[in-house]
Structure 1
Amino acid sequence: MIRKQEGLGNIVGISVARGAPRVSHLFFADDSYLFFRARDEECQTVKNLLQSYEEVSGQKVNHQKSSVLFSPNLGGDSRTRVSSFLGVSSEETNPRYLGLQALVGRKKMDILGYLLERILKRIQSWNNRFLSKAGREIMLKTIIQAMPTYAMNVFLLPKELCSEIEGIMNGYWWRGSDLSRRGLRWKSWQSLCYPKQKGGLGFQSLREFNIAMLGKVNKPGGLLKALTR
């Protein structure tokens, strides 16, 4: 239904860069993003689409959990008119989706720096756990290494961020959760990332894992490749 209205010119999606295809909608699980211009006729089209979907599917749009995010160039009167017409609230701040901010600028460290804070807090919360080296290995592999996975599916993390996270994991491996305590690190993180058959422990190299996760960018015919090429 959305594509039909888009083909008729009743709604116009957004283009993330010059020459990139326009995107009118994105779906993930039970979440939906709709992109259109803040014009009365396009708002009416979107409202009609949602009503048609409700009638056909038997599902209802939860307006309390729905919101609209505007371009910073749009005036306050237009924002009020659109949000009132659609019956949803207006997002005044950069919302989070699956832990990441919805809007990301060029300074990725400002957006992704929270990963470092989350990992630090999680490790420090284990301060009262006296774990063996084997226990620390399990905690690092099953919990800490999994925390940045979603972000690495979407962004190429800055090298300095990967190095800082790996430094924290290496410190925890050798010294435990009290990261302020001094002590020797008998091997580098890179050495610990080697397979156990080669003298390592099979930890992940965040940078290499991140690059592998972004392999879908080069998938022929994929939307992400068309948007980022």
Structure 2
Amino acid sequence: MGDSSKEKKRLREAENSALQGNNVELVTKLKGELVGLLVKKEQMWQQRSKTHWLKLGDKNSKFFHTKASQRFRRNRILGIEDHNGVWCVGEEKVAEVFENYYSSLFTTSNPNGFEEVTQHVGRVVNEEMNKELIGDFSRGEVERALNQMAPLKAPGPDGMPPIFYQHYWRNIGDDVTDAVLFCLNTGKIPTDDSLLFCHAKVEEVKSIQTILEVYEKALGQQINAEKTTFFFGKAVREKTKNSIKVLLGVPEIKHYEKYLGLPAVVGKNRRASLNYIKDRVWGKLQGWKEKLLSQAGKEVLLKAVVQAIPTFAMGCFKLPIGLCKDIEMLIRKFWWGQPGERRKIHWKNWDTLCKPKIEGGLRFKDLAKFNDVMLAKQVWRLSHDTSSLFYRVFKARYFPNGTIFYAKQKSDSYAWKSILRVRKVMVMGAKWRVGDGKSIKVFVDNWLPGSSGGKVTLV
């Protein structure tokens, strides 16, 4: 990449020489070379810092350098405990623990008994579909996958990021494709986590155990007891719990533990169940050096990273207003550069910053309103995407004889209650397109054409 300090020294010497009437063109040439070198150096540190939220602006190599150093300290593994409980230190011993673990994990158990499983599974895939599924990966698929990668994402084992392969694909594409296709067309793909439900009865639990044993025997994938947990409903008696605990021999999930990034149970204390979102936001902000960022960099960072953290949970639950306010307070403090408990002037109120830029704001998200929008999307799915599993399960459980717009709220899950709370958002902006009129309630629904509300008004 070159040494920028040497280039700077050459530039200073050329500038001093130019002051005496010598080669001025050399100064221009060296300046161009130095700028190109600094851009490449900044891209290298941006890649090492994994700061993918920053796309344009902020020529700030110091920030990237600090982030990269911080990531190195946080991710460095100095020691690890092996399966016997022995603490191992040093690169060779740590590497040996990892190698032994994954070699054991992916060693085949020579499965058999496929017929016992497949005879109870209905045939869905036809011959043509099966031929396509079991066919080898193609060269075109490899190239399309490469072009879909972010250019400066993490480098591979050879130290090269995707941009290297994208730029020189014409020269190295054949060799890379051959290596990739060899791995893809001879490898195997493991299955992901599964969530099973049953009544709290010993007989049903035994049935599940039998099914899992058949699965292990047929596919050779063993259930990891260390990562297996179970959870009881609040109406299950202690005697039943103890019997099932002894039978399974795996730990029980307690309140407020998460599964796939969301709380397994949201109890009456919803703030406690969802407070992990605030903790994640606080942890992100603590790891950033705001003094190394311009206001433009802070804006991009807050929008692309911090305000995206609650999005997944907001699509499932209505977050407490107090929690939204606390998260916004953390964002405001970071934006105005307020360290710790020290107070600093906030020159604009939050409502103004949430307005569009054309109206004098910065278009930050009002989290409470954004939460309503995310849940309203679920209402839309439950009214239109009738072929999805999400629709079929919720319809059978909550509105079997009608639509989501006429479902009644009972003592149901918090996710369902959250969806019903924002149903009015959809109702306010929705209007029926009249067909045969059988599904429309004349004096209740919006169906009249025009710019007005669309309801029939009785005089």
TM over 0.5: yes
Matched residues in 2 for 1:33 and 1:187: separation?
A: 47
Specify every segment of 5 or more residues in structure 1 that has no aligned partner in the other structure, as ranges. 5-28
Distance 1:158 1:92, change over 3 A: closer
CA shift, 1:32, in A, is: 2.0
| Alignment-derived partner of residue 214 in structure 1 | 375
**Structure 2 equivalent of residue 200 of structure 1:** 361
Instruction: Give the structure, 1 or 2, with the largest relative contact order (CA under 8 Å, sep 6 or more).
Output: 1
Say whether residues 1:36 and 2:179 are aligned partners.
no
Which TM-score applies when normalising by structure 1?
A: 0.73
Which residue matches 2:341? 180
Question: In 2 relative to 1, CA 155–139 (structure 1 residues): closer, same or farther, beyond 3 Å?
Answer: same
Deviates more, 1:49-58 or 1:88-97: 49-58
TM-score (norm 2): 0.39
Q: Distance in 1 between matches of 2:268 and 2:237?
A: 24
> Structure 2 vs 1, CA of residues 120 and 195 (structure 1 numbering), >3 Å: closer, same or farther?
same
Instruction: Give the share of equivalent positions with the same residue, in percent.
Output: 36
SS at match of 2:302: helix
Counterparts of 2:281 and 2:289, CA distance in 1: 13
Partner AA of 1:200 in structure 2 = G
How far apart are 1:157 and its partner, in Å?
0.9
**Structure 1 consecutive aligned stretches of length 4 or more whose deviation exceeds 4 Å:** 55-58, 224-227
The 8 Å contact of residues 140 and 169 in structure 1, kept in 2 or not, is answered as: yes
Inter-partner Cα distance in structure 1 for 2:306 and 2:242: 43
Q: Is the 8 A contact 1:136 1:173 kept in 2?
A: yes
Q: 1:51 aligns with which of 204, 213, 224?
A: 213
- Amino acid of the residue matched to residue 117 of structure 1? D
Q: Deviations over 1:76-122 (max 9, x none)?
A: 44333323333x41316223224443111122112122322332343
Give the structure 2 partner of residue 156 of structure 1. 318
Q: Check whether the contact 1:115–1:148 (CA below 8 A) recurs between aligned residues.
A: yes
CA distance 1:41–1:98, change in 2 (3 Å): closer
C-alpha distance in 2, partners of 1:193/1:200? 6
Residue in 2 aligned with 1:130?
Answer: 292
1:120-158 deviation line (CA, Å, top 9, x unaligned): 343233357432101211221122112212221221111
Unaligned runs of 5+ in 2: 1-116, 121-190, 399-415, 421-459
2:344 is paired with a residue whose SS is coil
Q: Match for residue 254 of structure 2?
A: 93
1:61 aligns with 2:223: yes
**SS of equivalent residue, structure 1 residue 91:** coil
Counting strand residues as a fraction of each chain, which structure ranks higher? Answer: 1
| Counterparts of 1:84 and 1:216, CA distance in 2 | 43
Q: Does the Cα contact within 8 Å between 1:79 and 1:90 map onto a contact in 2?
A: no
In structure 2, C-alpha distance between the alignment counterparts of 1:120 and 1:73, rounded to whole Å: 36
Say if 1:124 and 1:177, in contact at 8 Å, map to a contact too: no
SS in 1 for 2:194: strand
Aligned AA (1:48)? T
2:78 is aligned with 1:78 = no
Distance 1:224 1:173, change over 3 A: farther
CA contact (8 A) 1:167 1:189 kept: no
Which residue pairs with 1:111 in the alignment?
273
| 1:5-20 → structure 2 map (5 Å cutoff) | none
Secondary structure of 1:31's partner? Answer: coil
Tell me: CA distance 1:129–1:30, structure 2 relative to 1, closer, same or farther (3 Å): farther
Partner of 2:305: 143
- Distance verdict in 2 for CA 1:146–1:92, change over 3 Å: closer
Residues 177/136 of structure 1: CA separation in 2 closer, same or farther (3 Å cut):
farther
Task: Please tell me the residue identity of whatever aligns with 2:298.
Answer: R
Q: Which has the higher helix share?
A: 2
1:92 and 1:198, CA in 2 relative to 1: closer, same or farther beyond 3 A? closer
- Equivalenced residue count is 201
Query: For residues 165 and 48 of structure 1, what CA distance do their matches in structure 2 show?
Result: 47
Question: Aligned AA for 2:297?
Answer: G
Match of 1:189 among 335, 350, 361: 350
Deviation per CA, 1:154-178, whole angstroms, max 9, x where unpaired? 211112221222122122212x251
CA distance in 2, matches of 1:85, 1:43: 8
